[in-house]
Amino acid sequence: MSATFLGIPPFPEAAEKAVNDSRLRHNLRKATHTIRDKRASVVGELHDDWQRLRAEGAAVKEHTLRHLDRYLEQLEESVQRAGGQVHWAADAAEANEIVTRLVKATGETDVVKVKSMATQEIELNEALAEAGITAYETDLAELIVQLGDDLPSHILVPAIHLGRAQIREIFLEQMAEWGVPAPEGLTDDPRALAEAARVHLRERFLRTRTAISGANFAVADSGTLVVLESEGNGRMCLTLPQTLISVVGIEKIVPTWSDLEVFMQLLPRSSTGERMNPYTSTWTGVTPGDGPQEFHLVLLDNGRTDVLADTVGRQALRCIRCSACLNTCPVYERTGGHAYGSVYPGPIGAILTPQLRGMSSEVDEALPYASSLCGACYEVCPVAIDIPEVLVHLREEVAESPGHLGEKAMMAGAEAVLSSPRALDAVQRAAGLGRGAVPRHLPGTAGAWTDTRDVPDVPAESFRQWWDKRGRERG
């Protein structure tokens, strides 16, 4: 019942379709620029403090990743001490199996969900559906995607590719099938749409006794989990149900409660462009008579320890999923998220997905090239992940793998010319002689250039020829 990314072609092909979709382009341009500008203004007001916060955020994460084994054990202990249960999942299948078992044990067939990237990564909803359990998304954008049987296209705003007229249609057509129907005469006014979602969801919150969440942070020393959100749906899911299951990637740890002060400043400003997010929920194990009485923490590896072993690539694990890199990326702005063929789109997706999945497919191999290396992502990243550096590093892996013979031959040819001034000079002279014969439209790979761009005129003489001549004339 739910769509998956299987079958999406490699990035260049998927992107070709996206860049020609005028509605998509319009929606994305509007949304990314709005949020980009908001971020710039709330980050700008902190002046030099921002760079200090950013360095601190990167340092805390780097330290934690280096001692992850220790902090994971500490977290397990703290959570257990506070009355929670901890489960370890090596991969998606194991995590899904654990969660399914836990939900079944409650006897429930419905669960509410707080927006979570980890559960999307493991395709938990699909696994639960197979076991006869329906997972209801409660984040507004996530709800839209679920109702529309669509795919998320953004880390923070999964329905960013849709405009409000499209959302109205989805609500009118699908809400009734899932629960409380959309009111008759629903308009595409954002308030009206939000109100329809509230009414639809409220009934669900009050009725459902099991919730599944992720977490933005897991504090090792106290065993506290933290969720930041804007809509209050998370607060509902985290407090009303009887049982709470949180699926959390092992890289989400911070050592101490006080480390949160850095991230509580970095994350909202980077993600929604707010000084502070409306709702921050924290919970530590279970509290008798208050909130869920049963709490399970599922710690998810799913490729992360492999990433940790790569000294260049592992900085991707610092990511706090703020989505600033998506919002600022000129490539993402023009393709949207679906073209990346993964729940993690944009610049972070281009370095995380191939690492987590292991670059075993054409889709994953194309991702490190889905960037002009402009560096805008690195500039905005609140934990200073040098995304261009990792992209190039992953390109090296692709270039060193078997295949890609055409490109390898081209690069070898280029090196042969460029590693000898005499060879270069010879090529330049030949080009100068043939300069009149360059066609307007070139064949093969070069056609990708001449489709939309003229080629420059080839000069009659290269710089080095001119220099040489000048030297001789001057004696």
Can you give the binding site for ligand SF4, defined by CB under 6 A? 270, 319-325, 348, 380-383, 385
Site string for another protein, 292-331 (x = CB under 8 A): --------------------------------------xx
383 belongs to the binding site for another protein (CB under 8 A)? no
Q: Which amino acid is at 422?
A: R
Pair 355, 394: CB distance under 8 Å: yes
- At closest approach, how far in Å is the CB of 353 from another protein? 16
* Neighbour count for residue 173 (Cβ, 10 Å): 12
Q: Which is nearer to another protein, 160 or 331 (CB)?
A: 331
Q: Which is nearer to another protein, 181 or 432 (CB)?
A: 432
Burial of 329 (0-12, 13-18, 19+ CB in 10 A): buried
* DSSP symbols for 38-93: HHHHHHHTTTHHHHHHHHHHHHHHHHHHHTHHHHHHHHHHHHHHTT-EEEEESSHH
- What is the token pair recorded at 401? 């793998």
Q: Which of 184, 463, 472, 475 binds another protein (CB under 8 A)?
A: 463
Q: Which is nearer to ligand SF4, 112 or 319 (CB)?
A: 319
**Antiparallel, parallel or unpaired: β 110-113 and 134-137:** parallel
376 belongs to the binding site for another protein (CB under 8 A)? yes
- What is the token pair recorded at 200? 């639809």
Residue 385 interacts, among ligand SF4, another protein, none and using kind-specific CB cut-offs from 5 to 8 Å, with ligand SF4
Pair 64, 254: CB distance under 8 Å: yes
Q: Which of 48, 311, 419, 475 binds another protein (CB under 8 A)?
A: 419
**Antiparallel, parallel or unpaired: β 85-89 and 294-300:** parallel
430 belongs to the binding site for another protein (CB under 8 A)? no
Residue 392 interacts, among another protein, ligand SF4, none and using kind-specific CB cut-offs from 5 to 8 Å, with another protein
Residue 466 interacts, among ligand SF4, another protein, none and using kind-specific CB cut-offs from 5 to 8 Å, with another protein
Residue 383 interacts, among another protein, ligand SF4, none and using kind-specific CB cut-offs from 5 to 8 Å, with ligand SF4
28 belongs to the binding site for another protein (CB under 8 A)? no
- At closest approach, how far in Å is the CB of 118 from ligand SF4? 14
Q: Which residues of 147-167 are buried (b: 16+ CB within 10 A; e: fewer)?
A: bbebbbbbbbbbbbbbeeebb
Q: Which residues of 400-417 are buried (b: 16+ CB within 10 A; e: fewer)?
A: eeeeeeeeeeeeeeeeee
Residue 381 interacts, among another protein, ligand SF4, none and using kind-specific CB cut-offs from 5 to 8 Å, with ligand SF4
Q: Which is nearer to another protein, 184 or 463 (CB)?
A: 463
Pair 252, 304: CB distance under 8 Å: no
Number of DSSP helices (H) and strands (E) in the chain, helices first? 23, 10
467 belongs to the binding site for another protein (CB under 8 A)? yes
Phi and psi at residue 417, to the nearest 5°: -75, -45
133 belongs to the binding site for another protein (CB under 8 A)? no
Question: What letter would DSSP give residue 402?
Answer: S
396 belongs to the binding site for another protein (CB under 8 A)? yes
428 belongs to the binding site for another protein (CB under 8 A)? yes
Q: What is the CA radius of gyration of the chain?
A: 26
Pair 237, 243: CB distance under 8 Å: no
Q: Which of 371, 382, 385, 387 binds another protein (CB under 8 A)?
A: 371
* Neighbour count for residue 435 (Cβ, 10 Å): 12
- At closest approach, how far in Å is the CB of 9 from another protein? 13
362 belongs to the binding site for another protein (CB under 8 A)? no
Q: Which of 346, 378, 387, 390 binds another protein (CB under 8 A)?
A: 378
Contact residues toward another protein (CB under 8 A) are 11-12, 15-16, 19-20, 25, 330-331, 334-335, 368-376, 378-379, 389, 392, 394-400, 407, 411-412, 414-415, 418-421, 424, 427-428, 431, 445-446, 448-449, 451-459, 461-467
